[in-house]
Chain A
Amino acid sequence: GDSVTQMEGPVTLSEEAFLTINCTYTATGYPSLFWYVQYPGEGLQLLLKATKADDKGSNKGFEATYRKETTSFHLEKGSVQVSDSAVYFCALRRNTGNQFYFGTGTSLTVIP
């Protein structure tokens, strides 16, 4: 079945460090891919998305590229801030359905 695997956390970085959170997927066909972020005490919110191979999603300095050949959608940011501390979820949705499949989440803490 469809699934998403993302790197285990927690991740702790110093402010202005480079961030990579790995995400790979298994799916039938060509799914749409998403990164959601959850700040403490809140629900998830969409960070960025990509709907086809080689698309790059970007938002708030974060970006991820849909790589069909490696079935990956790694999240990157060049310089993290304390305010980026949150849990990040990779997710997919088949283009023939309405269900979303989430990874287990990666907790990021950025220290000053």
Chain B
Amino acid sequence: DAGITQSPRHKVTETGTPVTLRCHQTENHRYMYWYRQDPGHGLRLIHYSYGVKDTDKGEVSDGYSVSRSKTEDFLLTLESATSSQTSVYFCAISERLAGGQNTGELFFGEGSRLTVL
């Protein structure tokens, strides 16, 4: 199994509070992604990173920020959580081919279930 650890695995918080989810990998993969999974929507990309300090927005990035100061860690922050951000959040990683693109295989963490009351 790919070495991906998400923390916390479960969190309940209140509207308006900041929340940070952490993704830690031991594979030294270049690409890291944050997705959210919601019924009826499948997986939607929030942000992704293609290297240290290199990040880009996905399709549902509003209300979220990310940081990657080290290859192994990718943090997702909700500055002021809202009930619409109640979801299961998945981190994924992918390796880079010599030509610059990823290998096409994503390895996923076990998910972080966030409930915003």
Interface string of B4-46 (1 = CB under 8 A from A): 1000000000000000000000000001010100001111110
Main secondary structure, interface of B, reads strand
Shortest beta-carbon distance from A46 to chain B in Å: 5
The stretch among A68-76, A77-85, A91-99 that forms the contact with chain B is: A91-99
Q: How far is the CA of A93 from the CA of B31 in the complex (A)?
A: 14
Contact of B42 among A46, A95, A105 (CB under 8 A): A105
Q: How far is the CA of A89 from the CA of B43 in the complex (A)?
A: 9
Nearest B residue (CB) for A33: B104
In the assembled complex, B48 has its CB within 8 A of some CB on chain A: yes
Contact of A99 among B58, B108, B111 (CB under 8 A): B58
In the assembled complex, B106 has its CB within 8 A of some CB on chain A: yes
In the assembled complex, B74 has its CB within 8 A of some CB on chain A: no
Contact of B104 among A51, A96, A104 (CB under 8 A): A51
Contact B111 A43 (CB under 8 A): yes
In the assembled complex, B94 has its CB within 8 A of some CB on chain A: yes
Chain B interface residues (CB < 8 Å from chain A): 4, 31, 33, 35, 40-45, 48, 50, 58, 90, 92, 94, 101-102, 104-111
